Chains A and B, each alone.
Chain A
């Protein structure tokens, strides 16, 4: 009997660290090594004439009524000119379902699914990117940011990053930039919030890396523009927000990271309520 216990116990002791190591490895790979999803594996924008032509067709069918001929802007509709907005803006508005418009007064209230397919969006992006050339107005417009990957070594301070390991970013850099530029509206864990006049601040948990990097460049109203951020900084923010999709929650169920109000509700509605029923069962109910 006692020997049986011993073997069982020893096996557990031996298995535990291995199991844990495997789990830790899996978690680590999911968190840090996985290729983060971008919304298309192929190039997001191209300068091939076919794509530009196809994009023009789509533009004339779906966009021209508001945004005007060759993106010159709508005089009556007030739709902005698109000549110099660049592919990043086109890509952001189309992939997030903000365009075509769902809620004209509140861009954050958008279609849940994109209206166009990935290919169509690429064609439209290409057309918008080519507009300065087509119309001969304006100069080069900002392209779709190329999100850099996470560095293998995450133990670097943000300041050392640029020197030691160019071409990749750390979560630490992303956290610092997110905290000062984004958290005040989108909440520390990216759960979203509220602006004045009923403008919704969307949560960031459904966005992909490219969209997050595009948003600060584009500044989809009512969000301000942060086009002073470099590509590396945008990448760091994007990677950190992507980390926030599934951050480390060692403590258990995260209650969507909504903070003290939600925690208080759970504390009363679950914790205290259970004990309330317990005391009803223990005590006299007369």
Chain B
């Protein structure tokens, strides 16, 4: 195949590379680690790339965020908008506003490419959290959180929470009317914490809402504290992933003790790099063509104005929805009060998050399973867990819809009172229905053994002269074109019976 000339240049390149790597090795003794890094195998099922989308969005957020920080003025000082040069946004001329809001208006109208950076930052944040949610769902439904990966599940949940808070602080920084009312709601939720609530809200805001201390503080939190924590946790997340190796779906030739996939270098790295560029591409297309958060229309924040349709960004919608659906209870005795918004604002998320943090332990008890797992569950094989997940998803969707009750009611032509009642019932009934539907669907699917929306897995198993087994026509063979490929012999594996048994047998615990 290779000509003499090619061989020569290969050798030359090899000598150069080796020389460079030797220099590195003499300092870090790194060769063995680098081999295992370059040749490390990653299973490349498409659903494993959703986490990569999240990471790529984070990189875009950091880059665009640094740019925005060059222009943003973290100050609540009241100024009168009266620019003397550049593009002037006429409807705000002469209005008093904070310096922060003015800097965002200037960034949007007067800094070339300032608006697209702002919009890319915001869209990347929305995509980031969408990827986080889907990544989390994938981990949950396939049981990837099981031993030995519980810690990474917990780190992931922490990341989700901090990333959502990071999003909220960023949404609040422009100090426009929409975000100001969001901060008012958060202030009133913090105020409800028993014993320390009022004191804490005064400490965080530097006094009575809105004050002048919050914007600079939010800036420090958004630009410094949370990014630091996010990058730190993400590093831990990825190092643990690297160390423990990625999980994989069961399949022909796959066992708990082996891993099947392609090497990082070069193909996987190139694909991952390509996906990152695609994330950037989609983000910037959206930033160019779809307007997001036009703060100049909302106007500067003040304490007495409000706009209809005041909502948080979508990833906090479920918490705002909970506030809308919660009944009008509050408790008062002995001169103290537990106000209404304490329950949907803090207790409900607290309970749900505790359940999620504890889920690896709960799952271990339910399935009496203390083994270490590297192969994933197919959702249908664990009907109870899948049912719980489906219930959680429906609950989440119900609350998220509740956060847009006024918009939805308007578009559906029903009264918002009716819609809220429907969603209140939906928050109870929906998850139960979803649980049983998912449960029954899992049981039904277990009997067929096929993917619900894909062609059946099947094929002919050949026994080779050496005594190995070789499957023709399975989905993996159909995917690439490695029929007759040497590497494919690795699939011919003594563990094939075990693997196919794992694939078709219903779970003994879940089946009852």
Name A's B-contacting residues (CB within 8 A).
Answer: 32, 154-160, 170-172, 174-176, 179-180, 183-189, 191-194, 196-198, 200-201, 240, 243-244, 247-255, 257-268, 270-272, 274-276, 278-286
Contact = CB atoms under 8 A, between A and B. Distances in A.
Nearest to A263: B292
B91 A172 contact: yes
29 contacts: A32-B90, A155-B88, A155-B90, A157-B80, A160-B94, A172-B90, A172-B91, A174-B91, A175-B92, A188-B298, A193-B410, A194-B415, A194-B416, A244-B297, A250-B108, A257-B297, A259-B178, A259-B407, A261-B309, A261-B407, A264-B313, A266-B286, A270-B286, A272-B131, A275-B279, A279-B275, A282-B44, A283-B49, A286-B249
Interface residues of B, number: 86
B406 A283 contact: no
A197 B419 CA distance: 11
Nearest to B94: A157
B275 A282 contact: yes
Given A179-B305, A183-B305, A271-B286, A261 B403 contact: yes
B290 A261 contact: no
B343 interface: no
B12 to A, nearest CB: 33
Contacts of B226: none
Given A170-B90, A253-B289, A255-B291, A286 B479 contact: yes
Given A179-B305, A183-B305, A260-B313, 11 more contacts: A156-B94, A174-B91, A183-B307, A200-B410, A201-B308, A262-B407, A275-B275, A280-B46, A286-B249, A286-B476, A286-B479
Contact of B299 (A175, A184, A261): A175
Interface in B16-59: 43-50, 52-53
A271 B126 CA distance: 9
B342 to A, nearest CB: 24
B162 interface: no
Given A187-B309, A279-B275, A263 B293 contact: yes
A37 to B, nearest CB: 20
Contacts of A263: 122, 126, 292-293, 313-314
A261 B286 contact: no
Contact of B417 (A196, A267, A279): A196
B423 interface: no
B315 interface: yes
B338 interface: no
A248 B317 CA distance: 27
Interface of B: 43-50, 52-53, 80, 82, 88-95, 108-109, 115, 119, 122-123, 126-127, 130-131, 134, 171, 177-178, 249, 251, 271, 274-275, 278-279, 282-283, 286-294, 296-299, 304-315, 317, 403-407, 409-410, 413-418, 454, 475-476, 479
B278 A278 contact: yes
Contacts of A285: 45-46, 454, 475, 479
Given A157-B93, A188-B298, A283-B47, A252 B290 contact: yes
A286 B91 contact: no
A184 B314 contact: no
A260 B414 CA distance: 21
A46 to B, nearest CB: 35
Contact of B291 (A172, A180, A253, A264): A253
Q: Most chain-A Cβ atoms within 10 A of its Cβ — which of B48, B88, B89, B405? A: B89
Nearest to B249: A286
Contacts of A172: 90-95
Interface centre among B48, B53, B108 (most CB of A within 10 A): B53
A267 B130 contact: yes
Contacts of A258: 309, 407
Given A154-B93, A155-B90, A264-B313, A189 B45 contact: no
Contacts of B305: 179-180, 183-184
Nearest to A154: B90
Contacts of B293: 260, 263
Contacts of A255: 290-291
A154 B287 CA distance: 29
Most buried by B among A160, A171, A261, A265: A261
Contacts of A156: 93-94
A271 B311 contact: no
Contacts of B119: 251-252
B317 A261 contact: yes
Nearest to A175: B91
Nearest to A199: B415
Nearest to B291: A251
A176 to B, nearest CB: 6
A282 B289 contact: no
B141 to A, nearest CB: 16
Nearest to A155: B93
A108 B381 CA distance: 53
Contacts of A196: 415-417
Contact of A284 (B126, B294, B304, B479): B479
Nearest to B415: A198
Nearest to B275: A282
A193 B292 CA distance: 19
